[in-house]
A and B are shown apart, each in its own frame.
Chain A
Amino acid sequence: MTPASHQPDLRRIGASAFTEVLDTLLSLSATVQESADDRPVSAAPDEISSSVLLTGQRLSGSVHLRLPQTFVACSVRRLTGLDVDAGNAHELQDDAAGELANMVAGRVASQLAADGYPCKLGTPSVSHSARLATKNPNGVINARTDLICEGHWLSLEIQCCYADP
């Protein structure tokens, strides 16, 4: 396994990637929360979870976002100019949540590549019942970052498994 001291700082990478996407795409600023321990790990009924797989020779893993539906609806409105009361609101919200995960994963992959761990992105998947991980399977590093943005609590989790150096 790659020694822990040589591994990328996933929490820093995640916070940087997520805040950059919110700022560039939505012109929204976000505050990184220092402690994520007091947040329930199950997605609430009004939350959307979106994930993207990362695949590389030295690393495999995934990037997960957990976003309140009201935040995603606000994002759709900002991006498309469409009101979410339209008939295809749920389809659009799921699509937007997937695209946000895709962009955050892209930024994470870019930073991992700069740290010597190049990887490719998978296609985003979206769920309304996903859980963030509570325990790490053997060898899997789990880094969670919570952000407050426009009064919404947003969560990002990066899971990575490093191949032998």
Chain B
Amino acid sequence: MTPRILSIDDSKTIRLLLARLFRPFACELLEAANGEEGLAVASRENPDLIILDYNMPVMDGIAMLRKMREDPGLKRTPVIMLTADSGLQSLATVARLGVRDYVTKPFREEELLGKVGRIIPLISRANP
């Protein structure tokens, strides 16, 4: 099965960056622009990993995480949190909500790929 990654970020630039980043790998990238949309896509598509922005309009990353943890179908889905706010308070909050890892924006691409690769297999399309 091709692993599926759901990217949830209100910034289209970041969603396109992730699309470029994961294009060389045998995985399917899904996307949503806020937590509310993300929750709907996650419930419908059951992704193998969610890359979730912390600060978003409509429903932010923390609110979405709380909803996910109440949903039996999503509570075990691994989440990597993307955040521009590297304050200890926000990191402590996401740790309590069981995120698998976090990446502070701006990030180096290899850092994010490394953290994703520890959760799902990232196999190059050129060398399956």
Contact = CB atoms under 8 A, between A and B. Distances in A.
A57 to B, nearest CB: 12
A103 B17 contact: no
Nearest to B16: A80
Main secondary structure, interface of A, reads helix
B16 A79 contact: yes
Contacts of B88: 113
Interface residue tally on B, bucketed by range: 20 to 34
B10 to A, nearest CB: 8
Nearest to B15: A80
B85 A120 contact: yes
Interface string A104-147: 01110110010000101101000000000000000000000000
Contact of B106 (A21, A76, A98): A21
A149 interface: no
A150 interface: no
Contacts of A107: 84, 86
A81 interface: yes
Nearest to B107: A24
